[in-house]
Amino acid sequence: MAPEARDLELTVIVPFHDKPEQLERCLVALRASSEPFELVAVDDASRGARAPELARQHADRVLRLERNSGPAAARNAGARHARGSLLVFIDADVVVEPGTLARMRAELAAEPSAAGLFGSYDDDPAERSTVSYYRNLLHHHVHTTGPREASTFWAGCGAIRKADFEAVGGFDESYRVPSIEDIELGMRLVASGRRVLLVPSVRCKHLKRWGLVDMVQVDVTRRAIPWAKLLLDRPGTGGDLNLEWKQKLCVALVLLAALALPISLAFEPLRATWAPLWLPLALLVPVLAINRALYALFLARRGPLFAVAGFLLHQLYFLYGGLAYAWVRLTHRRKRA
C-alpha cells in the first residue's frame, strides 16, 4: 500500500437504535476487515439493553445520545469524537466485505483532491422477499451504473475526510429520522467545490427487510418529498444520482400510462376489446427500453416471475415518485437562499 494510504487513519462511525441482531452482524464484519481502524458506535437512545451491550463488546468507543435524534445527529456525535483523519460511515444494517475499508482508503489516497466517496450494495441481498430483493437490486444498479463524479453522498457505506466534513458543517441535524440527510450533505460538499466519488467496488450487503407499504411510505415521506423540496430550494446544486433525464422521461410516461387507461375505458366502443390497453402498454415500451439493463438484472438474478414483479414495482416507483414531486411543485414555497 502506498505511504499516502497508510497516512489516512480511519474512524468508522456506526449509528444504531436497537435491532441487536443486525448490529452484531455489522460490527462482526467490520472487525474482520483487513484494515486497522477506530470503531465508534453511537447509540441513538436505544430502548433495549442488548444492542448497547453488543456495541461495548466490539467498539473502541460507545457514545449515547440522551434522546432519539436520528442518524444525522448520531453521526455528527461520532465525528466529534473521531481520532482518524478519514471518517467512514456505515449503517447498522449493513455488512461490509473484508476489503471494503481498504478500498476506501486506497481510492482516496489515489485521489487526494476528492473529499469523499461512497459505494454500493452488492447484488445478493440478505433478505429474499420480493420487495426486499427488488429494492436492493435497484439500489445496486443505480450505484453501479452512475458516473464516478457524483453530485451526492450516501452514508450507508461512505467515507469523507474529516477536514472536509467539518468545513461544511457535517450532517444537517434537522433531519430527525433517516431521510435524505446524506444527500443534502453531498450537495453541500459539491456546491463548495469539493469532489465526491461513486466507487461501486466499495461494496456491502444490506440486511433490511422491506414490505410494500413500508417501502412506499418511506420513499414518499422520507425520500421523494424532502428531496423534491431540496432540489427546488437549491436548483443546480446536485443531489440527482438517479434523476437523469431518462428517468424523468420514464416518470412522465408512467404517469401518462396511468391516465390513459381510465380515459380509454371511458369510451364504450373500446371496452369490449383489448383496445384500452394498447395506449398504456405503448407508453411503457420506452420505459422498458430505457431500463432494460435493470430488468435484465432482475431476470438474471431471480428468473422471469421476479423480473415481471420487479418491472411492476419499478413502474409503481415511477408513479408515486412522480406524484410526490408534482405535489411538492404545486404546494412548496421555495426558501430563500
pLDDT in tens, 122-151: 999 999 999 999 999 999 999 999 999 999
Span 282-303, pLDDT tens digits: 999 999 999 999 999 999 999 9
What integer pLDDT is reported at residue 124 of this predicted model?
92
What integer pLDDT is reported at residue 244 of this predicted model?
78
Burial of residue 271 (number of CB atoms within 10 Å: 0-12, 13-18, 19+)? exposed
Cell numbers placing 169: 458543517
> Can you tell me the distance from the alpha carbon of 127 to that of 246, in angstroms, rounded to the nearest whole number?
29
- Mean of all residue pLDDT scores within the chain: 92
**Percentage above 70 pLDDT, the chain:** 91
Q: 10 Å Cβ neighbour count for 114?
A: 22
> Can you tell me the distance from the alpha carbon of 217 to that of 233, in angstroms, rounded to the nearest whole number?
23
pTM of the model: 0.92
Instruction: Give me the helix-helix angle, 304-331 and 245-265, nearest 10°.
Output: 90
pLDDT band at 278 (very low <50, low <70, confident <90, very high): confident
DSSP 192-236: TT-EEEEEEEEEEEE-----HHHHHHHIIIIIIHHHHHHHHHSTT
Average pLDDT over residues 260-272: 67
Span 78-121, pLDDT tens digits: 999 999 999 999 999 999 999 999 999 999 999 999 999 999 99
What structural domains and CATH numbers belong to the chain? 3-218 (3.90.550.10), 245-331 (no CATH)
Choose the weakest-confidence range: 12-26, 165-179, 243-257, 316-330: 243-257
Q: Which residues are paired to 205 by β-bridges? A: 95
H helix or E strand, kind and range, residue 158: strand 157-161
> Can you tell me the distance from the alpha carbon of 200 to that of 140, in angstroms, rounded to the nearest whole number?
8
Span 207-265, pLDDT tens digits: 999 999 999 999 999 999 999 999 889 877 665 666 678 999 999 999 999 998 787 66
What single DSSP character describes residue 180?
S
- Ramachandran region, residue 236 (left: φ > 0; alpha: ψ -120 to 50; beta: rest): left
Residue 183 reports pLDDT greater than 80: yes
What integer pLDDT is reported at residue 262 of this predicted model?
80
What integer pLDDT is reported at residue 58 of this predicted model?
97
105 CB-near residues (< 8 Å, 6+ apart): 1, 5, 8, 10, 35, 86
CB 72 within 8 A of CB 171: yes
H helix or E strand, kind and range, residue 276: helix 275-290
